[in-house]
C-alpha cells in the first residue's frame, strides 16, 4: 500500500524538473540546443544573416529564443505560419539591425516584445493579420528607422504607440483599415520623413493629424475617403516635398489649403471629384514642379489659376470636362515643359492660349472635340517639339498655323476630319521628323505644303491596317506630281502615301507610280468641297464638277474595284448639260443623285482630259446609317443617397451621333445645371442626387439618319424621421 505515495512523489519531482528546464537560461535545456550552430530549419551565412523563410514555422525557432547570438545582424522569418510574438522571442539578439516578419499570420504582439533590440533599424511586420497594436509594443526601439506595418487589418492605433521611435524615418501604414487619425498619434516622431497611409478608409483630416511632422518630405495618402481639404488638413508640413492624394473623393480645395506646404515640388490630386480650380488655390506653391489633376470633373479653370506656379515643369489635366481655355488659363507658366490635356471636351484653341509657356516642349491635346484652331493658337511655342492633335474634329488648318513652332519634331493629326490641305500649314517646319495624317479623308494637298521639311523621317499618310476607302485617298495624277518628287528626293525612312485613284494604281505607293504628261496645268474642282458626303436615304444630292480650262468633264463611279460610266438616261443621274431634276439651273458637269438608296453609295470620280493629260477629283457618298447603342444605362436603386450616380451610355454610327438625355421626358440642359454632367462618351453623371432626381432617364442618339434610345430609372429610398 506504500507504493502509490512513492510513485506520486516521483511524479512531483519530474514535473518540477520539467518546469525548471523550460527556463531559457537552464543548462539542462541548453544541453539539447547547440547555440553555436545554425538553428534548425534556417540558413545562415558568415556575414551575420539568418534566413528561416518558407519553412512552415509556427513560432520563432528555439535556437534563437534560448541562445545569445551577438553576431546576428539580419533575421528573416517571413513567409511562415507564426501567429504570436512574445516578449522573449528576441532577447538573445542584442546587435540585430534588420528583422523581417512579413507574410506570416501574426495577430498579436506582446508589449515590450522588441525592447531588447536596441540596435534594430528596420522592422518588417507587413502582410500579417494585425488589427491593432498594444500601447508599449515598440518600447525600446529608439534606433529604429523603418517600420513596415502595411497590408494588415489595423483599424485603430493607440496614442503613444510610436512614442519611443524618436529615430524613425519611414512609417508604412498603407493598405490597412484605418478610418481616422488622432491628432497626437504622430506627436513624438521628430525625424519622420516618409509616411505611407494610402489604401485605408480615412475620412477626415480636419484635426491636423500631421501638425508635429515638421521634417516629413513625402506623404502618400491616396485611396482614402477624403471629401474636403481645409486649412487644417496639412498643418505642420513645412518640409513636405511630395504629396499624393489621388483616388479620394475630394470635391473642393479651400483657398488656403496649401499655405502650410511651401516646399511642395510634386502634388498628385488625380482621380478625385474636383470640379473647379480657383485662381488662388495654388498661389503658395511657388516651388511646385509637378501638378497632376487628371481624372477629375474639372469644368472650369479660372484665369491665372496657375500664375504663381513659376517652377512648374509638368502639368497634367487629362480626362476632365474642360470645354474651353483662354489666353489667361496658363498665364505665368514660363518654365512648363509638358502639358497633358487629352480626353477633355475642348472645342477650340484660341489665339495666344500658350503664349507665356515659352519653354513648353510637349503638348498633348488628343481626344478632345476641337473643331477649329486659331491661326495664333500656338503662338509663343518656339521650343515645342511634340504636338498631339489626334482624335479631334479638325477639318481645316489655318495658313501657317504652325509657323510659331519652328522646332516642332512630332506632329500628329490622326483621326480628324481633314479633307483638303490647301493652306501650306507644314511649310518651313525644318525639324519635323514625324507627320501622322492617316484616318482622315484627305484627297488633295497643295503643292508647296511640305516646303523646307526635308527631315521628315516618318510620313504616315495611310494606315496599312485600314481599307483605303476609309482613309486618305489622294488622286495620283498631275496634281500629286510635286508630292511624288518630294518623296523620291527626300526618301523618308517610313512613308505610307498610297494612291486612292486612278483605280489601276489604287493601294500603290505614290512614289512608285508613273505620272507623265503634266505640262498642261489642267485642274478640276467639285462643289460642295466635302470629300465625304453623308446623306439620308431618299434624299437628293448634287455634285458639280468644273475644269479650269474649256474642256468637258465626265463622271464615273467605282464599283467593285472598276470604273463604270454613268448613263445620262439613268433615272438617278444627270450629267453634262442634262436636265436637273433637283432644280439647279446650272447643269454643266452636274451629278444629281435622286432618291438615294444603298446602291448609290460609293466613290464617284470627276475627270477632265486635255491632249491625253487627265485631272480627277474623287468624292465619297455614304448613306448615314442610324446609330447603334453600344452601352446602355442600367437602373439604379439605393436605400441612402449616394454621393453620385452614373448612367453609362455610348453610341456609334458612320455619321457620328449626338447624344441627348431626358429626365421624365424633359431634356436636360447641361449648360444650366451644376449637378448633372455629360461625359465625352455620352454617359450621365448626377452629383448628390436628391428626391426630385428620382424617375426615368432616357438617352437619345441621333445622327440625322435615324435615332435610337435607351432608358433606365433612378430610385433612392430616403429615410424619414417620424417624431
Q: What is the pLDDT of residues 601-631, one digit of tens each?
A: 888 888 888 877 788 888 888 777 788 888 8
* Residue 414 located in a structural domain: no
- Whether 390 and 414 have beta carbons less than 8 Å apart is answered as yes
**Domain-located, residue 188:** no
Quick one: which of 603, 526, 615 has its CA closest to 566? 603
What is the rounded distance in angstroms from the CA atom of residue 582 to the CA atom of residue 396?
Answer: 30
pLDDT given for residue 18 in this prediction: 36
Per-residue pLDDT at 358: 95
- Mean pLDDT, all residues of the chain: 86
CA dihedral 15, 17, 22, 23 (to 10 degrees): 140
Measured from the Cβ of residue 213, the count of other Cβ atoms closer than 10 Å reads: 24
Tell me: pLDDT of 658 over 80.
Answer: yes
pLDDT value for 567: 57
Question: What pLDDT was estimated at residue 9?
Answer: 39
Give the residue from 605, 623, 641 where a domain finishes: 623
Residue that is last in its domain, among 623, 640, 656? 623
* Residue from 523, 581, 512, 525 nearest 549 by CA: 523
pLDDT in tens, 545-583: 888 888 888 888 887 667 777 755 443 444 443 444 555
Domain contains 584? yes
580 lies in which domain range? 524-623
- CA atoms within a 13 Å half-sphere pointing along the CA-CB vector of 59: 10
Number of residues written out for the chain:
723
Predicted local confidence at residue 578, as pLDDT: 40
Q: How confident is the model at residue 689 (pLDDT cuts 50, 70, 90)?
A: confident
Q: Give me the pLDDT at residue 32, please.
A: 66
CATH number, residue 529: 2.60.40.10
DSSP-derived secondary structure for 355-392: TT-TT--EEE--SS---EE-TTTTTT-TT--EEE--SS
Last residue of a domain, one of 607, 623, 639: 623
Say what the pLDDT of residue 585 is: 55
The sign of the dihedral angle between the CA atoms of 466, 469, 471, 476 is positive
- Angstrom distance (rounded) from CA 555 to CA 606: 5
pLDDT band at 539 (very low <50, low <70, confident <90, very high): confident
Distance (Å, whole) CA 450 – CA 132: 69
Are 698 and 634 in a shared domain? yes
> Do 651 and 586 fall into the same domain?
no
How many angstroms separate the CA atoms of 45 and 48, rounded? 6
The per-residue pLDDT for 462 is 92
Cα distances from 338 to residues 270, 360, 494, in angstroms, run: 16, 6, 27
| 718 band by pLDDT with thresholds 50, 70 and 90 | low
350 pLDDT more than 60: yes
Sign of dihedral through CA atoms 428, 430, 431, 435? Answer: positive
Which pLDDT score, from 0 to 100, does residue 83 have?
97
Q: Has residue 633 been placed in a domain?
A: yes
602 falls within a domain: yes
With CA atoms as reference, report the closest residue to 386 among 458, 468, 443.
Answer: 458
Residues 429 and 466: beta-carbon distance below 8 Å: no
How far is it, in rounded angstroms, from Cα 612 to Cα 242? 71
| Same domain? 688 vs 665 | yes
Mean pLDDT of 323-334: 93
Mean predicted confidence (pLDDT) in 306-331: 95
User: Is 648 in the same domain as 589?
Assistant: no
Please tell me the total count of domains within the chain.
Answer: 2
Q: Would 618 be classed as within a structural domain?
A: yes
What percent of the chain stands above pLDDT 90?
57
| pLDDT class of 468 with cuts at 50, 70, 90 | confident
- pLDDT range class, residue 15, cuts 50, 70, 90: very low
Do 636 and 693 belong to one domain?
A: yes
Q: Is 671 helix (H, G, I), strand (E, B) or coil?
A: helix
φ/ψ of residue 21, rounded to 5: -70, -15
Sheet with 666-667: list strands edge to edge: 636-638, 707-716, 695-702, 658-663, 666-667
589 and 651 fall within a common domain:
no
Mean pLDDT (whole number) for 361-389? 95
CA dist., res. 217 & res. 238, Å (int): 9
Nearest-10 Cα torsion for 123, 127, 133, 139: -10
Confidence (pLDDT) at 524:
82
Domain for residue 657, yes or no? yes
Q: How confident is the model over 647-659, as a mean pLDDT?
A: 82
The cell for 118 is 536596441
Residue 489 within a domain: no
CA distance 435 to 447: 17
Grid cell for residue 119: 540596435
Amino acid at each position: 500500500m506504500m507504493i502509490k505515495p512513492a510513485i506520486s512523489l516521483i511524479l512531483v519531482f519530474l514535473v518540477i524538473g520539467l518546469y525548471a528546464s523550460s527556463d531559457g537560461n537552464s543548462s539542462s535545456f541548453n544541453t539539447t540546443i547547440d547555440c553555436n550552430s545554425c538553428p534548425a530549419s534556417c540558413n545562415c551565412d558568415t556575414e551575420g544573416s539568418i534566413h528561416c523563410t518558407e519553412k512552415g514555422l509556427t513560432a520563432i525557432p528555439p535556437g534563437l529564443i534560448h541562445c545569445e547570438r551577438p553576431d546576428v545582424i539580419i533575421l528573416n522569418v517571413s513567409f511562415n505560419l507564426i501567429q504570436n510574438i512574445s516578449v522573449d522571442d528576441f532577447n538573445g539578439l542584442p546587435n540585430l539591425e534588420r528583422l523581417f516578419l512579413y507574410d506570416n499570420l501574426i495577430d498579436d504582439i506582446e508589449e515590450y516584445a522588441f525592447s531588447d533590440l536596441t540596435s534594430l533599424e528596420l522592422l518588417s511586420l507587413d502582410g500579417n493579420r494585425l488589427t491593432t497594436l498594444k500601447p508599449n509594443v515598440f518600447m525600446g526601439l529608439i534606433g529604429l528607422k523603418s517600420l513596415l506595418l502595411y497590408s494588415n487589418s489595423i483599424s485603430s492605433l493607440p496614442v503613444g504607440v510610436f512614442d519611443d521611435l524618436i529615430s524613425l524615418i519611414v512609417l508604412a501604414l498603407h493598405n490597412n483599415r484605418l478610418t481616422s487619425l488622432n491628432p497626437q498619434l504622430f506627436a513624438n516622431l521628430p525625424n519622420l520623413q516618409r509616411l505611407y497611409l494610402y489604401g485605408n478608409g480615412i475620412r477626415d483630416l480636419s484635426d491636423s493629424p500631421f501638425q508635429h511632422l515638421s521634417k516629413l518630405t513625402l506623404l502618400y495618402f491616396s485611396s482614402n475617403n477624403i471629401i474636403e481639404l481645409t486649412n487644417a488638413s496639412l498643418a505642420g508640413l513645412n518640409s513636405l516635398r511630395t504629396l499624393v492624394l489621388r483616388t479620394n473623393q475630394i470635391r473642393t480645395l479651400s483657398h488656403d489649403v496649401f499655405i502650410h506646404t511651401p516646399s511642395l515640388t510634386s502634388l498628385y490630386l488625380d482621380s478625385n471629384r474636383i470640379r473647379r480650380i480657383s485662381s488662388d488655390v495654388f498661389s503658395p506653391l511657388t516651388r511646385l514642379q509637378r501638378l497632376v489633376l487628371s481624372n477629375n470633373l474639372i469644368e472650369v479653370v479660372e484665369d491665372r489659376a496657375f500664375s504663381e506656379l513659376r517652377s512648374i515643369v509638368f502639368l497634367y489635366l487629362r480626362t476632365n470636362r474642360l470645354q474651353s481655355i483662354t489666353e489667361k488659363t496658363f498665364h505665368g507658366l514660363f518654365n512648363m515643359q509638358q502639358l497633358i490635356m487629352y480626353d477633355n471636351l475642348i472645342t477650340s484653341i484660341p489665339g495666344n492660349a500658350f503664349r507665356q509657356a515659352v519653354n513648353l516642349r510637349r503638348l498633348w491635346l488628343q481626344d478632345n472635340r476641337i473643331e477649329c484652331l486659331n491661326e495664333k493658337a500656338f503662338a509663343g511655342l518656339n521650343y515645342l517639339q511634340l504636338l498631339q492633335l489626334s482624335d479631334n474634329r479638325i477639318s481645316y488648318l489655318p495658313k501657317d498655323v504652325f509657323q510659331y513652332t519652328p522646332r516642332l519634331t512630332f506632329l500628329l493629326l490622326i483621326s480628324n476630319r481633314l479633307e483638303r490641305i490647301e493652306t501650306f500649314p507644314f511649310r518651313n517646319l525644318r525639324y519635323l521628323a514625324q507627320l501622322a495624317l492617316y484616318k482622315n479623308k484627305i484627297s488633295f494637298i497643295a503643292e508647296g505644303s511640305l516646303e523646307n521639311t526635308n527631315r521628315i523621317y516618318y510620313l504616315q499618310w495611310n494606315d496599312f491596317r485600314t481599307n483605303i476607302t476609309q482613309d486618305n485617298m489622294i488622286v495620283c495624277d498631275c496634281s500629286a506630281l510635286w508630292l511624288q518628287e518630294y518623296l523620291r528626293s527626300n526618301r523618308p525612312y517610313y512613308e505610307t502615301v498610297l494612291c486612292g485613284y486612278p483605280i489601276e494604281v489604287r493601294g500603290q505607293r505614290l512614289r512608285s507610280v508613273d505620272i507623265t504628261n503634266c505640262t498642261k496645268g489642267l485642274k478640276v474642282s467639285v462643289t460642295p468641297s466635302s470629300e465625304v458626303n453623308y446623306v439620308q436615304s431618299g434624299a437628293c444630292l448634287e455634285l458639280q464638277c468644273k475644269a479650269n480650262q474649256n474642256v468637258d468633264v465626265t463622271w464615273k463611279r467605282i464599283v467593285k474595284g472598276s470604273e463604270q460610266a454613268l448613263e445620262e438616261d439613268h433615272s438617278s443621274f444627270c450629267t453634262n448639260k442634262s436636265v436637273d431634276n433637283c432644280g439647279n439651273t446650272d447643269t454643266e458637269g452636274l451629278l444629281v443623285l435622286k432618291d438615294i438608296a444603298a446602291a448609290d453609295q460609293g466613290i464617284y470620280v470627276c475627270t477632265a482630259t486635255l491632249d491625253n493629260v487627265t485631272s480627277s477629283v474623287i468624292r465619297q457618298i455614304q448613306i448615314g446609317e442610324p446609330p447603334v447603342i453600344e452601352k446602355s444605362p442600367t437602373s439604379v436603386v439605393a436605400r441612402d443617397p449616394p454621393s453620385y450616380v452614373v448612367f453609362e451610355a455610348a453610341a456609334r454610327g458612320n455619321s457620328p451621333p449626338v447624344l441627348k438625355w431626358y429626365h421624365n421626358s424633359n431634356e436636360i440642359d447641361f449648360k444650366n445645371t451644376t449637378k448633372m454632367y455629360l461625359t465625352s462618351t455620352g454617359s450621365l453623371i448626377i452629383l448628390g442626387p436628391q428626391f426630385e432626381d428620382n424617375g426615368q432617364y432616357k438617352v437619345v442618339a441621333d445622327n440625322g439618319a435615324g435615332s435610337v434610345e435607351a432608358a433606365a430609372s433612378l430610385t433612392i429610398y430616403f429615410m424619414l424621421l417620424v417624431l
